[in-house]
Amino acid sequence: MTFQDFISGTDLAGSDLTALGIAATLLLSFAIGMFVFWVYKRSYQGVMYSKTFNISLMALCMITSTVILAVTSNIILSLGMVGALSIVRFRAAIKDPIDIVYMFWAIASGIIVGAGLYVLSIISAVIMGVIFIVFSKVRSSNGPMLLIVNYDSGTVEDDIFKLLNEKIGAYKVKSKTKSQGGFEMTVEIRSKKDNLKVVNAIDEMQSVTNVAMISYDGDFAA
């Protein structure tokens, strides 16, 4: 068998597409894409939620399924499609690493659905969705807090640390800045108890001009 005969033979003919098969694949990929959409919205922990990015996750799942259908229907066509897709470049900046995971999840789900592995796509989507939601809840409940205190005199620091030892226990000074207007100190707090009382108590101290308590997830404050 020559190379030309091998290319034109039935081994590379692929499988025939039917209207029912195409509709079933696209509907399932749409359902899984909407599930990814819902999980991303439900478990989002960032500062500003982007609905357009979330919609793109659903679209990625459907588009990938369509591409896989074309590839599996004609293996010869897949060679040209690989070359065409290799020139695609994503220019959008990904601010949160978890967004990359969701993009890969949507693309992988589209590949699995397009390959006709419907049971695998459904089971994997459900398990991944449950994992994302559970870990998002754990993350939000155990996230640290940042205590930011502005004060005029350095002598008030001892009173602040004494109060933190009594009310909080576990804390860590992240930064301290001195300027012409006074001092600014940032303290990381892990405990959730009596946080509001601590803010009120520090605000009543002499030389303290401003105090704030904000949530912190390691990358940005919210």
Whole-angstrom distance, CA of residue 90 vs CA of residue 187: 38
What residues have CB less than 8 Å from 77, skipping those under 6 apart?
Answer: 14, 70, 71
Boundaries of CATH 3.30.70.260 in the chain?
Answer: 143-215
Tell me the three-class secondary structure of the chain, residue by residue: CCHHHHHHCHHHCCCCCCHHHHHHHHHHHHHHHHHHHHHHHHHCCCCCCCHHHHHHHHHHHHHHHHHHHHHHHCHHHHHHHHHHHCCCCCCCCCCCHHHHHHHHHHHHHHHHHHCCCHHHHHHHHHHHHHHHHHHHHHHHHHCCEEEEEEECCHHHHHHHHHHHHHHCCCEEEEEEEEECCEEEEEEEECCCCCHHHHHHHHHCCCCEEEEEEEEECCCCEC
What CATH number matches the domain at 143-215, 3.30.1490.20, 1.20.1290.10, 3.65.10.10, 3.30.70.260? 3.30.70.260
Q: What pLDDT score does 221 carry?
A: 47
Q: What pLDDT score does 98 carry?
A: 84
Q: What pLDDT score does 207 carry?
A: 82
Asked whether 202 and 211 are in contact (CB, 8 A), the reply is yes
Q: Which ranges of the chain have pLDDT less than 70?
A: 1-16, 47, 74-94, 139-143, 191-195, 216-222
Interval 162-198: pLDDT, tens: 888 877 777 888 888 888 778 888 888 876 666 677 8
Interval 201-213: pLDDT, tens: 888 888 888 888 8
Q: What pLDDT score does 72 carry?
A: 76
Q: What pLDDT score does 92 carry?
A: 61
Q: What pLDDT score does 175 carry?
A: 84
Q: What pLDDT score does 222 carry?
A: 46
Q: What pLDDT score does 34 carry?
A: 94
Q: What pLDDT score does 140 carry?
A: 52
- How many degrees, rounded to 5, is the angle at CA 201 between CA 200 and CA 205? 115
Whole-angstrom distance, CA of residue 56 vs CA of residue 49: 13
